[in-house]
A and B are shown apart, each in its own frame.
Chain A
Amino acid sequence: MSATLYVRLKKAEGCLVRLLGQIGRRGYDVLAVSAKLSADRRVFEVLVECEPFMPVPPALQQPRPIEVLPSLVRKLIEVETAELRSVAPKGPPGESGNGSDAAPKPKAGAGKAGGEMHFLED
């Protein structure tokens, strides 16, 4: 199961690294990222596509629940908003879809396998 997380993030020292670390180090594999800085350079709007790691051996416990991810990210001081925009069954990275019209659309390539990062600045 993969999910797309939408985050509004105050621009501050190290904020993007902190955000991705909070996701990647806490049981979720980051598959794709796009980040766009607002015109006033105050906040980033970030879309992170990720999926829970499957523990090895998988029988011992379940992967981390995706529902916990927004509250995990909201703990970061710079985070203004964090919400799951779509949750999809496990498939090729980038094909999980984005069910919300309200979400900023990642630019082409942001969802490719390999987890490329795109920091888009106005």
Chain B
Amino acid sequence: MPEMSGASFVCRALESEGVDYIFGYPGGAIMPFYDAIVGATFKHILARHEQGAAFAANGYARASGRVGVCVATSGPGTTNLVTGIADAFMDSVPIVAITGQVRSHLIGTDAFQEVDIFGITLPIVKHSFLVRNVNDLPYVMREAFRIARSGRPGPVLVDIPRDIQEAKADLRLLPRIHDEERPPAPSKESLERAAQLLRESRKPIVYAGGGVGMASAIEEFRGFIKATQIPTVHTLKGLGTLPYNDPLFLGMLGMHGFKQSNLAVQECDLLICIGARFDDRATGVLSKFAPNAKVIHMDVDASEVGKLRKAEAGIAGDIRPALKALSFPLPQIAEWREACLKSKTDYAWKYNAPGDGVYVPAMLKELGDRADDKTIITCDVGQHQMWVAQHYGFRRPEHHLTSGGSGAMGFGLPAAIGAALSRPDCRVICVSGDGSIMMNIQEMATLKRYNIPVKILLVDNQALGMVRQWQELFFAKKYSEIDLSDNPDFVRLSEAFGIPAFFVRERKDVPRAIDRLLNERGPLLAHVSIEQAANVWPLVPPAKSNAEMEIRDHNK
């Protein structure tokens, strides 16, 4: 192979990894790379802000299971990636972030647009490389992709000084390490212990998180539930692991979880935690969470087992063989199961809110009922995010793209762009709020430029709704900096970007709006006006157990 530049080699490495889209924004220190991508087999999507590029790569990876790639220049370009990298770390999303760096001899001199992005991102990456020698690039590029997608996935940063991008060398691709690598099988002893706990239990509950889908263990998980008939609750990121309409799915647990889910967890005698991590939004006060339960904890990441809650049986490693090994009938739990299912019926949503205004839970339920199995929903963060989780009804976890761990407003729109490009077979709808959409509104220009058929369902209460809700409930209605009544006219704003839009004010207009979202081609924005006072229920107040949830809504 003739000599090539480091930048050209990075392009060849991306091609060899099968990358079809990358998301980025050029600048001085990354210019050799941008010179090299002309003619590459992958397509570059020009975001309008590096954070948009990072979230788009994130959405691409979440929707497809493949590694997402984002690119930025040094200094502010890299720091603008940071929120997207942190989000990928918190939610275990495989992305590779390629950043330009100032020339090697300038590192540490406070050179123009020099930032120690390697140091800044150390706590929020699975791994990172600062390339000091062009001959390291073959190893670095191969390892970056392998590390990002293996085991518990996560973000990998590759910081490449400009002179390394320009340097020429005899660079050869190393053989690709294929995705077939699996985590180690769980130990026989841990499985035997778990089986014993299952046989002894009278009131078990499965508490499943996003780790099941990321381990490609959906079928094994569903087989496990089918065999054992254990009632099941999901975390925010686990939604869809069991289809929402499976009789054994009780609902989401946690701060805005379903009443029957939280009550069942509080009463269970065995909690089977699978691919979840006892996150505080799921558990409430940890010491009061499932207080009478023994715990089986399965996770690919051994450091999660026992991190926050002692496990009587810890199963670290590949959860697929563990689920298969534990798939046996449990006839002794029939009475408990019936009680859980009755509770599910007793506390079912009613969707009978009075008035003519748009009632978001009912609107999202109708959207979920009418959307087909190939619809991906991305969310931003806030009240609308919780309403989506509660009411949409997911069939697969990769159809629900939400910033769970980091809770990053501004995630939804760029993530939808990435999802739409990685899954052209799917319809993608971004449900956003008037606070969140403004955090990355510039990506409307990206939608228009590439005519990406993302639909935006913008729920507008002219406030930072979740903060407003907490100020109402826990800060004596002393509202502070939550008013957004001077929002722009979102219909005209969308049209200014060249994207058609329409306004929805009344409940009777919702069916027609959903028709348009589901059936029109190209990007489209529906601006839905709702009451500012609308709140998300149930709610577990701070410092309370999940059994102490509050419900002040006609819906339950």
Contact = CB atoms under 8 A, between A and B. Distances in A.
Interface in B290-315: 301-303, 305-308, 310
A61 B288 CA distance: 10
A17 B122 contact: yes
A18 B305 CA distance: 22
Given A60-B285, A60-B287, A61-B287, A75 B301 contact: yes
Contacts of A64: 307
B349 interface: no
Contacts of B122: 14, 17-18, 21
A13 B129 contact: yes
A72 B277 CA distance: 14
Nearest to B307: A68
A24 to B, nearest CB: 10
A68 B526 CA distance: 48
Contacts of B34: none
Interface in A51-105: 59-61, 64-65, 67-68, 71-72, 74-77
A71 B128 contact: no
B148 to A, nearest CB: 11
A25 interface: yes
A13 B118 contact: yes
Contacts of B175: none
Interface string A10-36: 000110011001000100000000000
A25 B123 contact: yes
A58 to B, nearest CB: 11
Contacts of B305: 68, 71
Nearest to B118: A14
Given A13-B132, A18-B122, A60 B310 contact: no
Contacts of A14: 118-119, 122, 128, 130
A68 to B, nearest CB: 5
B128 A68 contact: no
| Prevailing SS type, chain B contact patch | mixed
Interface residues of A, number: 19
B202 interface: no
A40 B126 CA distance: 27
A77 B127 contact: yes
B306 A65 contact: yes
B441 interface: no
A67 B303 contact: no
B303 A72 contact: yes
B286 interface: yes
A102 to B, nearest CB: 23
Contacts of B287: 59-61
Contacts of B128: 13-14
Contacts of A77: 126-127, 143, 147
Contacts of B132: 13
A76 B151 CA distance: 12
A15 to B, nearest CB: 10
Contacts of B307: 64-65, 68, 72
A39 B481 CA distance: 59
A71 B302 contact: yes
A75 B118 contact: no
Interface in B267-298: 285-287
Contacts of A65: 306-307, 310
Given A13-B128, A13-B130, 6 more contacts: A25-B123, A65-B306, A68-B307, A72-B307, A75-B152, A77-B143
Interface of B: 118-119, 122-123, 126-130, 132, 143, 147, 152, 285-287, 301-303, 305-308, 310, 316
Interface of A: 13-14, 17-18, 21, 25, 59-61, 64-65, 67-68, 71-72, 74-77
Question: What 7 A-B pairs have minimum CB-CB distances, sorted nearest first?
Answer: A71-B302, A72-B303, A71-B303, A77-B127, A13-B130, A61-B286, A68-B307
8 contacts: A14-B130, A17-B119, A21-B122, A59-B287, A61-B286, A65-B306, A65-B307, A74-B302
